[in-house]
Amino acid sequence: MSQRSKYWSCSDFADWLRGTSKPGAQTGKGWNDWHKVAKKSHPIRYWIAEEGLDKVQNFIWWPVDKLYDLKYYINNRWVTRTHSLTAHHRDIKPGSWRDVGNRFLPCLFNELVDFVEVETAWSNIAWDKKAREKYNAPFYSVGWFRWRTWRCPEAGIEHLKWAMALTNEEWLEEDKKHEAVLTGQALAAKEIFELYTWWKEVYPTRKDPHDLSGWTTWCNRRREKLKDEDENTRWNALLGGEDETPDEQAETRRILDLCREIEKQQEDEDEQMMIRLIKVRNHLWT
């Protein structure tokens, strides 16, 4: 029943046939209580509305469902390639070599970007006509023609910010509403938003440790100093520091130590962000 606008068992006709109307949003206990009461009130009518209508709908919609399954197999296999983790060409140039350990960070966070800008953006407009108009969503962003290629960072971020504000207030008694706290969905949305923002805004602006430590400038200065030497002399001097004074050697060690320290800080940050992403992985679905 993937492409149906509504389950027949959730229709006004089903409510009439069942003899009891389905409630709106409920807790798990609320739904269990409703099912018990509805089934006890009209057992046969309950079965017809809850199971009989589903069986008839499944039979009638079988050809459409199979066509829809084929469409999404093509989409998953060749368009969005949901069987694999891929890196954006900005992070790993196609055809270039990258060791396995160095693929993890870009592949994982590129998938997070797609989740926010494609999947979460779709959640924002899927059932909201005004949102579709606001973001000028094309015809292939929803419904039968959806190919999960429409990208809208603004729509995805808006949905995350909505989710980040969700509390359990509606489940509390009136005199307890002041005790409302953020839901698990809200906390997960906040974590996803922070990770997405880090990858999009913080990570790209980090300076290369060689530049930040001064190592690049130091090496350029040394090359300039040795530019008139023959090639063998120049490279031996650069590698061995044979032409350096004791003060220059000390400065070289200081800069190299600083470079290694910055590299370690950035590697530790990358590792912590990947760990945070792994921990929130069960919330990356729409």
Mean pLDDT, the chain, as a whole number? 89
The pLDDT score that the predictor gives to residue 1 is 40
End-to-end CA gap in the chain: 17
Q: Would you say the C-alpha torsion 113, 115, 118, 121 has a positive or negative sign?
A: negative
What mean pLDDT comes out for the span 223-240? 66
The residue extents of the domains of the chain are 1-79, 88-205, 206-277
Mean pLDDT of 211-236: 78
> Among candidates 150, 142, 3, which has minimal Cα distance to 70?
3
- Partners of 182 in the beta sheet? 167
| Predicted pLDDT at 242 | 63
- Report helix, strand or coil for 187: helix
pLDDT given for residue 44 in this prediction: 93
Task: Tell me the C-alpha to C-alpha distance, in Å, between residue 283 and each of 175, 192, 198.
Answer: 31, 9, 18
* Confidence (pLDDT) at 241: 63
DSSP letter for each residue of 73-135: HHIIIIIS-TTS----TTTS-TT----HHHHHHHHHHHHHHHIIIIIIHHHHHTT-HHHHHHT
Does this model's pTM top 0.75? My answer is: yes
Q: What is the pLDDT of residue 128?
A: 93
pLDDT per position as a tens digit, 101-150 = 999 999 999 999 999 999 999 999 998 999 999 999 999 999 888 888 99
Classify burial at 200, counting beta carbons within 10 Å of its beta carbon; exposed 0-12, middle 13-18, buried 19 or more: middle
Does position 2 have pLDDT exceeding 50, yes or no? no
Q: How confident is the model at residue 74 (pLDDT cuts 50, 70, 90)?
A: confident
